[in-house]
Amino acid sequence: MHDNMKTRFVLPFAALVLFLGCQQNQPTDDPEVLKKILFDYFDGIKVKDLNKLNAVTTANFVLFEDGKVWTNDSLVTNLNKYYKTLDATFTFDNFDINVDNTSGNMRYFNHCDCIINDTSKMSFNWIESASFVKIDGNWKMNFLHSSIRK
């Protein structure tokens, strides 16, 4: 092989190896960080606190639930409209979390036992998924999807 041909072959090959090597060493963040964001979000739902919800979500956050598109504002407005009081306990399990250094997603099961308006005891089971992005070094949830679990 001529020196010129060797260079043409070796340089692209070396670049490919370097690229693939960098891809494999991409830093990842702790999946527990995403769980904390999720738990903080549901703590905000329990107390119907828009500021708590906004603190852990992006400005364009949406929730898909029951065939509707919700924002934090519309969620809190409806919680206040229909529930004078809401005593809720959320339990999460069956997590599957994927996270790198800038984005993440999870799917999980959510169970809620609640007392509504101090009288009605109810339980709910959902299948949910959420996505997250890191903005200025801080994790935020940017999407949540919830479906009734059968």
What is each CA distance from 72 to 6, 58, 66, 77, in whole angstroms? 60, 10, 15, 9
- Classify residue 14: in a domain, yes or no: no
What contacts 50, CB < 8 A, 6 or more positions away?
Answer: 44, 72, 73, 76
Q: Which pLDDT band holds residue 28 (cuts at 50, 70, 90)?
A: confident
Question: Residues in the chain, how many?
Answer: 150
pLDDT 10s digits, 64-123: 998 999 999 999 999 998 888 889 999 999 999 999 999 999 999 999 999 989 899 999
- Classify residue 18: in a domain, yes or no: no
Six token digits for residue 23: 């891809």
Please state, rounded to an integer, the average pLDDT across all residues of the chain: 87
Q: Give the range of the structural domain holding residue 116, as residue numbers without chain letter.
A: 29-148
- Classify residue 4: in a domain, yes or no: no
pLDDT 10s digits, 13-26: 555 545 555 555 55
- Between 2-11, 54-63, 74-83, 96-105, the lowest mean confidence (pLDDT) is in 2-11
